[in-house]
Structure 1
Amino acid sequence: MAAREGNITKAARKLNVTQPSLSELISDLEYNLKVQLFERLPRGVRLTPQGERLYLYARKVVEEHEAFEESFYEKEDNIRGELKIITYPFVGAEWLIPSLNKFIKNYPAVDIKIHLEPENINPAEADITLATYIPHQPHLIQKPLFSARTHLFASKDYLKRYGIPQTPEDLDNHRLITYRGNYYSTDRSINLLLHTGLKANEPLRKSKLEIDSLNGMMNAALQGYGIVELPNYQVVLNSGLEIVLPNIYGEDIMLYYIFLANRKNSKKLNKVYEYFLKSGIKL
């Protein structure tokens, strides 16, 4: 955990132990192995070359053990035990939770734990990850679930009050709701409102309201605070918001069902994937 977090205090918090006890445990391990595993930095720690070798070996051992344990106890039609899922907050709240209704009824012996993470998702921390494609990870199996694209939305009240933009340039005169302003990541870019229709030398538009939550952005738009860019998930399309400038939209973004390759024969993980495909619930 300390290797992943790059900070002993943060790692201790996640492990539910005190920072001094975790530091002492690391020091004892280094003493017994007679090597330095971490390089101490002003704002955290990082693995030494020897520490990196040990970390990779230990992670492989843990993953293989968990994969063996899962396959050993699994039966064809009787899956049970804990199921950990990591995904984005909006996907988890608006798609995953409603999708699990029949699964929970059909598999009462499965205990589900859901962790919502806006970015920097680590598939090694869960059985299943629902996220965009993670490149350069041959140890992962990534199966497509569905795709979506972003559109511009506004409430009827807002459009009645401020008018309907007819061209991208009209956005200069509107209130804009954005995700962290001019935000970009390899997962997704949600900033069409700030640059669409601008010339190369023109400054970006300014946000009227910045929120680091898609749920918050949708609720702000429903309150009539401005125009927002959101994915065309079913929950958004059914919310009452109106699509603005329908010819302006983002690229298709595929959501994947991701798990460790050494668990490719897991009946539980494959059955959950089949369930999601057959559930018929779309974002």
Structure 2
Amino acid sequence: MITKLDLYKVFCQVGKSKSFSRAAKELYMTQPAVSQAIMQLEGELDIRLFNRTPKGVSLTNEGNILFEYINSAINLINVGEEKILEFKDLTVGELKIGVGDTISKYFLLPYLEDFHNRYPNLKFKIINGMTLELCNLIKSGEIDIAICNLPIDDPSLEIRPCKEVRDIFVCGEKYKELSKEKVSLEEIVKYPLIFLEPNSNSRRYVEKFMISKGIKISPEFELGSFDLLLEFARINLGIACVVKEFSKSYLEQGLLYEVNVLEEIPNRSIGVCYLKSVPLSLASTKFVEVLES
């Protein structure tokens, strides 16, 4: 007997495949069985879910709305099934981590290496994205944990700080004098500024702090890469706002200079996030322990 959950699984696969025949192959079903399942679901819901054409099918507006919810729910079900199949000794399993490029490169890599050495049979799936994107991926069940720039204000997430970092301003040789004597934030914004793009959590944190001081920023350059911030400052295109802990090699080699500001930006943290409502897998729990140690 086909259950409502079975119908929804067929519905999701047809929505992804955009074809009854391709969905049938993925589900190891016959095409008539797939068609019958969709007709049954449409009958039970009393609504048309797909537009049928000779080239395939497409979701109706109502079908699109339903697909978003059902796809997330089935992802979470699949995650639950995967978790119970993991052995307690972590000899099998997969750890799905969401992380931004910068945190991945400058913070996460040593922890991945350590964890892999301890549990070599575990697989990693790393998904890159910005903080808001990663939070949504946690909620849809597509990743187990995310390592993000804090603060994050989301009551559905458990947030645990792991490492404290400090945002600073840096410059190249052209503006070297700014590293010698104390400079006010009001003076800094008179120079060409180099910031991350507005959607970055790091950018929003610094911008919020400066607005609290009555200072509005208007960057000359808005970049999507932390490494480009360093390089743009190095070739004297302006004053860049960067994370000090991730810029040590440039500062130690004398490629960049830290601007000597009168009022430092308050420290913030990098942290690990996961759903409060879903227990962490054993692999995720062990990895969080490694991060916090």
TM-score norm. by structure 2 comes to 0.66
**Greater share of helix residues, 1 or 2?**
2
Q: How far apart are residue 208 of structure 1 and its match?
A: 3.4
* SS at 1:73 equivalent: coil
Equivalent positions of 1:191-230 (< 5 A) are 192=207, 206-230=218-242
> Within the alignment, does 1:158 sit opposite 2:170 as a pair?
no
Name which of 273, 283, 286 aligns with 1:271: 286
Residue of structure 2 equivalent to 1:91: 103
Match of 1:153, SS state, is strand
SS of 2:262's equivalent in the other structure is strand
Q: CA deviation at 1:90?
A: 0.7
| Match among 120, 126, 136 for residue 108 of structure 1 | 120
Deviations 1:222-261 (A, max 9, x none): 33332111123x2313421332133344344333322344
Partner residue in 2 for 1:71: 84
Per-residue CA deviations over 1:158-182 (Å, capped at 9, x if unaligned) read 33378867333333552321223xx
Are the structure 2 counterparts of residues 110 and 198 from structure 1 closer, same or farther at C-alpha, using a change threshold of 3 Å?
closer
Q: Which has the higher contact order (CA 8 A, sep 6+)?
A: 1
Distance in 2 of aligned mates of 1:251 and 1:36? 54
Q: CA, structure 1 residues 199+141, in 2 after alignment: closer, same or farther (shift >3 Å)?
A: closer
In the alignment, what sits opposite 1:236? 247
- Residue identity opposite 2:260 in structure 1: L
Counterpart of 1:159 in structure 2: which amino acid?
Answer: Y
Q: 1:135 to 1:71 in 2, by over 3 A?
A: farther
Once residues 204 and 19 of structure 2 are traced to their aligned partners in structure 1, the CA distance between those partners, rounded to angstroms, is 41
- State how far apart, in whole Å, the 2-side matches of 1:94 and 1:265 are: 25
Contact 2:161 2:269 in 1 (8 A): yes
The answer as to whether partners of 1:84 and 1:126 remain within 8 angstroms in 2 is: yes
1:237–1:36 distance in 2 versus 1, CA, 3 Å: farther
d(CA) in 2 for partners of 1:57 and 1:137? 23
**1:141 and 2:158 matched:** yes
Change (3 A) 1:95 1:45: farther
**SS of 1:207's equivalent?**
coil
Runs of 5+ consecutive residues of structure 1 not aligned to the other structure: 1-11, 279-283
TM-score (ref. length: structure 1): 0.68
| Separation in 2, partners of 1:186, 1:46 | 35
Distance 1:160 1:60, change over 3 A: closer
- Does the Cα contact within 8 Å between 2:151 and 2:269 map onto a contact in 1? yes
The AA in structure 1 aligned to 2:243 is: P
| Count, aligned residues | 247
Looking at CA atoms only, which structure, 1 or 2, has the larger radius of gyration?
2
Q: How big is the shift at 1:184?
A: 5.6
* Cα pair 1:71 1:265 within 8 Å, conserved: no
Counterpart position of 1:9? none
Query: Which position in structure 2 is the counterpart of 1:80?
Result: 92
User: Aligned equivalents of 1:262 and 1:163: distance in 2?
Assistant: 48
Match in the other structure for 2:145:
128
Contact 1:79 1:268 in 2 (8 A): no
Please give the alpha-carbon distance, in whole angstroms, between the structure 2 residues aligned to 1:237 and 1:58: 43
Structure 1 residue matching 2:237: 3-state secondary structure: coil
The residue type paired with residue 287 of structure 2 is: V
CA distance in 2, matches of 1:70, 1:174: 52
Once the two structures are aligned, what percentage of the paired residues are identical? 18
**Cα distance change of structure 1 residues 78 and 167 upon mapping to structure 2, 3 Å threshold:** closer
Once residues 70 and 155 of structure 2 are traced to their aligned partners in structure 1, the CA distance between those partners, rounded to angstroms, is 17
Deviations 1:54-102 (A, max 9, x none): 6545533542442243233321x33432222111111012111233222
